[in-house]
Structure 1
Amino acid sequence: MTSPPIAVIGMHRSGTSCLAGCLEDLGLNMGEVITAAPHNKKGNRENPRFWPVHDAVLARVGAAWDNPPLEPVVWTPDERAALKAVLADYNALPQPWGFKDPRATILLDGWFEVLPELQLIASIRHPLAVAGSLAARNGYEVARSLDVWSSYNRAILRWREHLAFAVIDYDTPDYEARVRRAADELGLDADRPMPFRETALNHQRAVGDIPEGAARLWSDLQEVAR
């Protein structure tokens, strides 16, 4: 019996690396991923071979990771073939296996064409904490960061209307319990030790009032988070 692959989705700087690392602790095989980086002490847990695939799809429609498309993107046959070429490496992985690249959040239509059985789990984070992290890493102004944050998280809610999957707030006090509950539902070993998460690595805190549009979206995300 095969296990459906698992995609860790969410906006950049929203705890997706932490969630992916925790799921690795609980038995999810992620393949060859980055395990250390300047802005992620334990790495972003991403396979960089997915980046050019996603970036090419985004570029074709005049978008980028920080300039998300306004509508769902239909992938071309060549783009789906490029994704399948990377996924061929995952055939040899012990199951269950998964991947994480925030870009996939805004490109899931193509993923589901290639992997109809794909399961999702999402990480969300307070918009102003994300804006602070993007300011530190990329020098972005708050308004720009919130626009990008909104696009990714609207995509999460759009998929959440059609599929049942866990949405986990990176800063929730019961984070570990929520991750373990979601992992159990995904068929992982929720009783394993989970040392990946270190609260000391969370360097951004939400400060100030959220602008109205982002505040409404954040409230909607909190409604589906568990």
Structure 2
Amino acid sequence: MNKAICILGMHRSGTSLMANVIHLMDVYLGEESALLNARSDNPEGFWELAEVVDLQEQILSTLRSDWNTPSPLSDQWWLLPQMTPYKIQLRNIIVKHFNNSNLWAWKDPRTCLLLPLWQEVLSGLGVEVKYLFMFRNPIDVAKSLGRRDAFPESQSFGLWLKYNLFALHYSARKDRYFVDYDTFMSGWEGIIHELIAWLGTNGNGDMEVLQNKLSSVIKPSLHRNRTNMKQQRQSLPVLVLDLYESLQAVAQNQVLSRSEKFITQIQKEIDQFVQLSSMLAKKSYLRMQLYWMDDNQLYSEKFSDYVTVKADNEYFEYEIKLPTSVKGVLRLDPSCQPARFEVEYIKIYQTSENGKWQLVSECSGENSFKGIVNLENIQIIDREGRLTFFSLNDDPQIYLDIIPEVYYECQFKIAVKLRCEPISNGMMDYLDQSKISLAEEIRAEITSMASEIARIFESKLEEKSAVYLQAQCEQFDIFFQECNRIYAQLEVIQKKQEKLIDSGAQNYDHLHHQFQALQQQFEENPLKHIYKAMGGKWKK
């Protein structure tokens, strides 16, 4: 595990292709079963470890961000206390997948934003890292994102600038190799020898065999949206054009990337970007992800797909295609951050013999949203006509049992019509503080109740005499009336908890179960039967 290759690059910039290329050069990227499955927007595969993608999404969510947020992360975010458990998780993932590999690589565009965390963990493991930097002209990246995610051009340019700037900044003065995607696709044969030398691998030994393999994966069909940049340069924002031209220069002369002039230039451009970002509006896009069960009836990134949702409070229908033979309960995560939603319907279609989509199941207000079997991290506001709810954190989950068994062998797609808007950070801070205050209040009150019950219970068990029990019938009657009073208070607290959107109910549940266990002990204790035999009225 002593050497690693970090593949850096903005989304839709050829990083998946480059991962496949170095895989053919004997660089290990993980077991195939651990990688994300290919999808319609990347049919040749992502070459991304599902666990890495999931972890990096969690980190961005904790930082109140996402992959498609143009604004930068907070300064020195990796030093925050919240990052400590993520560093431990990342270390475990690296050891689990690459402990026996001398030369390995990982690829996920989000690494451009989260590189300092990787650098700290890998340094602790004694891993030497090289950085393979892929970039693509920003106009073609914007076209690709527009087609896949319906992003406006300005949003895509902002993302292109952010990813490339911070990847350059975090990897400054490191061992880097730059590849221009457009140049690579038009003449990769001239780059391969230099790349092999930089990687320090023999490229499977036989160059002719390697080139034949590379020819099978570097396909002209992957080079879509080929813009004539000489004609379109002036349509780019100045900051974007300046950075693109700088990247082109270092790809032609790798030595330039190590010059202090280039490093200083990138720092200045980052400072400008951060200043401009502070004046821009917050993001208006969320991600809705659909999971289906694997063979072990579990949900994971590998068995999922997603679609970008425009968070502008306007209704729109979003579609996700499912693989053939999906069965069982689906899990729909409507958002990757706290937000307010209104869902008009959720529909399942299957392909018919004539190739058209045919409706087979529907979950809507007309059937009271029948088919929703469970909700997690969601607070329902209304389900009359439309399903209106808040997602309370970055992991809301809707479980859907809407695929009829008779259609299990068919090809499906799900269609969801909804509108949404994100909850502001200020509102979330207020709700978080409300949860903390309420949790402390509940914990103190119920702990006191449980202690009181335990004390009374223990004092009664110390008395063995049936005569004493008879004499104390009235005391017992009062005691169990008190139990009923306490239980009624618990119910009041529980209703208060629900109204205040308390997603931290675990403490409450634990103490509530303690109370129920004590009641059960009274029910099962032989003293109860003596008490009843003497004419006492046992009150539950």
TM-score by length of 2: 0.40
The structure that has the greater radius of gyration is 2
Q: Distance in 1 between matches of 2:109 and 2:166?
A: 11
CA gap of 1:95–1:171, structure 2 versus 1, over 3 A, is: same
Q: Distance in 2 between matches of 1:168 and 1:11?
A: 13
Q: Distance in 1 between matches of 2:44 and 2:220?
A: 13
> Mind listing any 5+ residue stretches in structure 2 that lack a counterpart?
253-540
Q: Give the secondary structure class of the aligned counterpart of 1:107.
A: helix
Paired position in structure 2 for 1:224: 250
Paired position in structure 2 for 1:26: 25
Q: Deviations over 1:85-139 (max 9, x none)?
A: 2112223554311110000111110001011222210100000000001011111
Of all paired residues, the percent bearing the same amino acid is: 27
Q: Distance in 2 between matches of 1:157 and 1:180?
A: 24
Contact 2:14 2:136 in 1 (8 A): yes
Paired position in structure 2 for 1:198: 219
Paired position in structure 1 for 2:423: none
Query: Any residues of structure 2 matched to 1:107-126 within 5 Å, and which?
Result: 107-116=114-123, 117-126=128-137
Q: CA RMSD in A?
A: 1.9
Q: Distance in 1 between matches of 2:15 and 2:22?
A: 10
Q: Distance in 2 between matches of 1:65 and 1:148?
A: 9
CA gap of 1:144–1:27, structure 2 versus 1, over 3 A, is: same
Question: Following TM superposition, by how much is the alpha carbon of 1:35 offset from its aligned partner in structure 2, in angstroms?
Answer: 5.3
Structure 1 stretch displaced more, 157-166 or 47-56: 157-166
Structure 1 stretch displaced more, 212-221 or 142-151: 212-221
Question: Following TM superposition, by how much is the alpha carbon of 1:167 offset from its aligned partner in structure 2, in angstroms?
Answer: 1.1
Q: Does 1:15 align with 2:19?
A: no
Q: Does 1:100 align with 2:107?
A: yes
Paired position in structure 1 for 2:177: 166
Letter in 2 for 1:181: E
Question: Following TM superposition, by how much is the alpha carbon of 1:60 offset from its aligned partner in structure 2, in angstroms?
Answer: 1.9
Higher strand share: 2
Query: Any residues of structure 2 matched to 1:134-149 within 5 Å, and which?
Result: 134-149=145-160
Letter in 1 for 2:179: I
Q: Distance in 1 between matches of 2:143 and 2:52?
A: 26
Q: Distance in 2 between matches of 1:180 and 1:90?
A: 28
Q: Deviations over 1:160-191 (max 9, x none)?
A: 53213101000103334324412321212243
Q: Distance in 1 between matches of 2:217 and 2:77?
A: 34
Letter in 2 for 1:47: L
Contact 2:131 2:171 in 1 (8 A): no
Q: Does 1:79 align with 2:82?
A: no
Paired position in structure 2 for 1:59: 61
Contact 1:90 1:97 in 2 (8 A): no
Q: Distance in 1 between matches of 2:13 and 2:76?
A: 21
Q: Which has the higher contact order (CA 8 A, sep 6+)?
A: 1
Q: Distance in 2 between matches of 1:102 and 1:25?
A: 20
